[in-house]
């Protein structure tokens, strides 16, 4: 990115002053090195988002920002319905409610190492992964609607997990006001056999070791200890979410014109929040959030089954589950007044600070866990939301390392088999249905996740708590 187009406010904060049709400034949180790595398309998309009606405060980009569809991935924007605010399917993304969930094992590397190969093979056998993968559940249309209305609460009621799990999931595992009737038949058909599946792309299931703790008091409240093993699951709403995004982007392109909204980019298709299209999309999107929460809940049950075969005493409690492709109605301070805003987070994670009423105890005292995923051979991070982030970014932080090259470029640079062999030499076992998929997600295709986590910490978006490194990774 061309730094001359930005005003540097601090070492970690860069502004784009409003010009043209921008209603608010653009703000990017990143180090200079990360900013230089960003494509000018990120700058263009941050500017474009700032022109949308009803946007509040600023158009934000997180330290992992890169080019996306309409909004940058790593983009955050809040809209006020009282000021003609809009909702945009491009501001949520196609994989609605894609997110990360972290399970604690209470086990050490010494305990797991002798069973590493067996665990890798059993998880790969048990967890359906890859493009078009089908799970062990086949839902009737009635069951589909119940799942879309109930989310993880539905899954727990079916025997997939425990009531205790729900306390550690956003929205207690169920997004209210979901409208399964606004989800098309085609979207539902795509999902009938996909609940409890991992999918492809950057989705994964990893066994990871806590190699460093940076904030002992927060880690203690989370129950995270150096040397212990955790399990991270990264996936979303699969084909259903993609279908909803595809359909509503077409509908919103028409709706924007009908409501006199000038779009700088067709990919920013949107509709007023208080319009029929806006309300219909919200209902469908919330149903997709529930789909993703149910999906990760069923996957959790399958992982627990595998571990129970080898470690019968391991309960695998849930640390937290947080999504990073959503639009949520949240109360935030605008000037001196608290207002309900529609906060879009695309490739960005909610990061509520200490004391927030939506957080359960004992997490409320220290802030929400923020889960930043790596990719196979790189680290992942646990951070904690801060009070500062509530003012700086509507309580938002980054969600991962962010791509530094396209999937097509990655396949020209690496071969999947070679990546698997190189990681095996480092003691990291990869199980995947696709060598191409492994090449696309090669560690070198992503930004430095340590630099991204550091930028989030230094910018005040979230505080670093722990670093995790992979031992086993199941990929689509």
Alpha helices in 158-215 (DSSP H): 163-166, 185-191
pLDDT attached to residue 202: 86
Return the H-helix or E-strand segment holding 293: helix 276-310
| Cα–Cα distance, 224 to 107 (Å, whole number) | 11
pLDDT attached to residue 118: 97
pLDDT attached to residue 199: 84
Q: For residues 183 and 166, is the Cβ–Cβ distance under 8 A?
A: no
Residue 76: name the closest of 399, 451, 375 by CA.
399
| 317 DSSP 8-state letter | -
Q: What is the pLDDT of residues 87-142, one digit of tens each?
A: 999 999 999 999 999 999 999 999 999 999 999 999 999 998 867 678 788 999 99
Q: What is the pLDDT of residues 224-258, one digit of tens each?
A: 999 999 999 999 999 999 999 999 999 999 999 99
CATH T-level fold of 3-404+446-475: tRNA-splicing ligase RtcB (3.90.1860)
Q: For residues 14 and 35, is the Cβ–Cβ distance under 8 A?
A: yes
Ranges 25-34, 152-161, 317-326, 411-420: which has the least confidence: 411-420
Cis peptide leading into 362, omega within 30 of 0? yes
Which residues are catalytic, by number? 399
Residue 120: CB atoms within 10 Å: 19
pLDDT attached to residue 431: 95
Residues constituting the chain: 476
| Cα–Cα distance, 15 to 25 (Å, whole number) | 7
Give all strands (DSSP E) within 110-247, no chain letters: 204-213, 228-235
Residue whose entry in the numeric block shows the structure tokens 């989030």:
456
Contacts of 352-358 spanning 24+ positions with Cβ under 8 A: 352/385, 352/390, 352/395, 353/385, 353/386, 353/387, 353/388, 353/389, 353/390, 353/395, 354/385, 354/386, 354/387, 355/387, 356/385, 356/390, 356/395
Ranges 10-14, 95-99, 125-129, 416-420: which has the least confidence: 125-129
| Cα–Cα distance, 143 to 145 (Å, whole number) | 5
**Is residue 476's pLDDT more than 80?**
no
Structure tokens given for 23: 């209603």
Q: How does 86-115 read in b/e, with b if 16+ C-beta sit within 10 Å?
A: bbbbbbbbbbbbbbbbbbbbbbebeebeee
Share of the chain above pLDDT 70, in %: 100
Residue 23: name the closest of 91, 83, 67 by CA.
83
pLDDT attached to residue 405: 85
| Cα–Cα distance, 232 to 319 (Å, whole number) | 10
| Cα–Cα distance, 396 to 405 (Å, whole number) | 24
Average pLDDT over the chain reads 95
pLDDT attached to residue 137: 87
Task: Tell me the domain boundaries of the chain.
Answer: 3-404+446-475
Residues facing 384 on adjacent strands? 369, 463
Share of the chain above pLDDT 90, in %: 89
How far are the Cα atoms of 153, 166, 314, 315 from residue 160, in angstroms, in the given order?
Answer: 9, 11, 16, 14
Q: pTM for the whole thing?
A: 0.96
Look at 154 and 444; give whichever has higher pLDDT.
154
């Amino acid at each position: 990115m061309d730094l001359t187009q930005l005003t540097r406010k601090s070492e970690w904060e860069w502004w784009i002053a409003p010009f043209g049709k921008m209603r608010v400034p653009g703000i990017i949180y990143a180090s200079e090195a990360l900013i230089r790595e960003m494509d000018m398309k990120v700058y263009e998309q941050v500017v474009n988002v700032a022109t949308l009606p009803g946007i509040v405060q600023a158009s934000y980009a997180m330290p992992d920002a890169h080019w996306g569809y309409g909004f940058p991935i790593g983009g955050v924007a809040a809209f006020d319905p009282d000021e003609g605010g809009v909702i945009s399917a491009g501001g949520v993304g196609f994989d609605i409610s894609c997110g990360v969930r972290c399970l604690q094992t209470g086990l050490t590397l010494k305990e797991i190492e002798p069973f590493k190969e067996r665990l890798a093979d059993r998880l790969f056998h048990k967890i359906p992964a890859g493009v078009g993968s089908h799970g062990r559940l086949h839902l009737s249309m009635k069951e589909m609607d119940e799942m879309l209305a109930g989310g993880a609460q539905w899954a727990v009621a079916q025997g997939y997990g425990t009531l205790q799990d729900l306390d550690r999931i956003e929205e207690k595992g169920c997004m209210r006001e979901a409208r399964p009737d606004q989800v098309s038949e085609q979207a539902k058909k795509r999902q009938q056999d996909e609940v409890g599946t991992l999918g492809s792309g950057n989705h994964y299931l990893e066994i990871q070791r806590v190699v460093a703790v940076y904030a002992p008091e927060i880690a203690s409240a989370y129950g995270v200890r150096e040397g212990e093993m955790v399990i991270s699951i990264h996936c979303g709403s699969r084909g259903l979410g993609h279908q909803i995004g595809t359909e509503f982007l077409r509908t919103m392109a028409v709706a924007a014109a009908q409501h006199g909204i000038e779009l700088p980019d067709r990919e920013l298709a949107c509709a007023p929040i208080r319009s029929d299209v806006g309300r219909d999309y919200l209902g469908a999107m919330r149903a997709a959030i529930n789909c993703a929460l149910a999906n990760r809940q069923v996957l959790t049950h399958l992982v627990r089954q595998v571990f129970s075969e080898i470690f019968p005493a391991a309960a695998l409690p849930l640390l937290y589950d947080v999504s990073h492709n959503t639009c949520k109605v949240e109360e935030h301070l605008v000037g001196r007044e608290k207002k309900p805003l529609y906060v879009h987070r695309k490739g960005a994670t909610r990061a509520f600070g200490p004391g927030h009423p939506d957080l359960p105890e004992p997490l409320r005292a220290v802030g929400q866990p923020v889960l930043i995923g790596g990719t196979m051979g790189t680290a992942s991070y646990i951070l904690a939301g801060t009070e500062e982030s509530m003012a700086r970014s509507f309580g938002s932080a980054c969600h991962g390392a962010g791509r530094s090259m396209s999937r097509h470029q990655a396949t020209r640079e690496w071969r999947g088999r070679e990546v698997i062999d190189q990681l095996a030499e480092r003691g990291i076992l990869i199980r995947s249905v696709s060598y191409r998929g492994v090449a696309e997600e090669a560690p070198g295709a992503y930004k430095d996740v340590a630099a991204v986590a550091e930028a989030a910490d230094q910018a005040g978006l979230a505080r670093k708590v722990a670093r995790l490194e992979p031992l086993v990774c199941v990929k689509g």
